[in-house]
Amino acid sequence: ETGVTQTPRHLVMGMTNKKSLKCEQHLGHNAMYWYKQSAKKPLELMFVYNFKEQTENNSVPSRFSPECPNSSHLFLHLHTLQPEDSALYLCASSRGGTSTGELFFGEGSRLTVL
Amino acid sequence: QQQVKQSPQSLIVQKGGISIINCAYENTAFDYFPWYQQFPGKGPALLIAIRPDVSEKKEGRFTISFNKSAKQFSLHIMDSQPGDSATYFCAAKEAGTASKLTFGTGTRLQVTL
């Protein structure tokens, strides 16, 4: 148990569906991240939030829409996805601010786009 | 452009042997180099990390060797055990950023009996 919980663990959706991934951290951290993990590729940073403010958008297509209502919760809203978006989506948190901190990852949401 | 190159892609080591995974980088602004371990069905977890002002860091059976001039660093797992079978990712952080990491492609390690 890392203190970062992701739901759902598995999601299958059609290209026209709208769904959301949820992440919650119980570590008192102030920074939260979305990463995409595909086979044989490096983990790809998608978004970073520091103290609820988005500080990084790594050229992610607009069909992925993040939301961070508070420092403990992070969402990734999905719509009109493509089959190549099928991957494991990992949420992570860290202390945030300017401190170099360890990333604590959740177990991921496995997304399949049909 | 892949900023952190990791090799090998997969590795099979006998129990009790030494596992060695290598990473190379180009960006001289990197100032923090962690290794993450990921078991199937789990997220990556920090294993060990090093800063470029030291050449080696050891924690139990795990050692990072760092060569600043060659811009390379490696993970050595001594006395490898079946429980070490996992995917290992090297990563690097750019100075001036907090925890924004650039990851390698990962090495799948299998330790056989």
Residue-wise pLDDT tens for chain B (113 aa)? 568 999 999 999 999 999 999 999 999 889 999 999 999 989 999 999 999 899 999 999 999 999 999 999 999 999 999 999 999 999 999 887 767 789 999 999 999 99
- Are B47 and B36 in contact, with CB atoms under 8 Å apart? yes
Interchain proximity A90–B34, CB inside 8 Å: no
Rounded Cα distance between B5 and A111, Å, is 26
What is residue A98's predicted lDDT score, i.e. its pLDDT? 65
Rounded Cα distance between B111 and A9, Å, is 28
Nearest CA in chain B to A57: B100
Per-residue buried b or exposed e for B91-108, using 16+ beta carbons within 10 Å of the residue's own CB = bbbeeebbbbbbbbbbbb
Dump pLDDT digits (tens) for A59-108: 999 999 999 999 999 999 999 999 999 999 999 999 877 666 689 999 99
Dump pLDDT digits (tens) for A3-34: 999 999 999 998 888 999 999 999 999 999 99
Q: Tell whether A20 lies on the interface with B, counting CB pairs under 8 A.
A: no
Rounded Cα distance between B64 and B82, Å, is 20
What is residue B94's predicted lDDT score, i.e. its pLDDT? 85
Contacts of A108 in chain B (CB under 8 A): 43
Strands A109-113 and A10-13: parallel
Contacts of A99 in chain B (CB under 8 A): 98
Q: Does residue A53 carry a pLDDT above 60?
A: yes
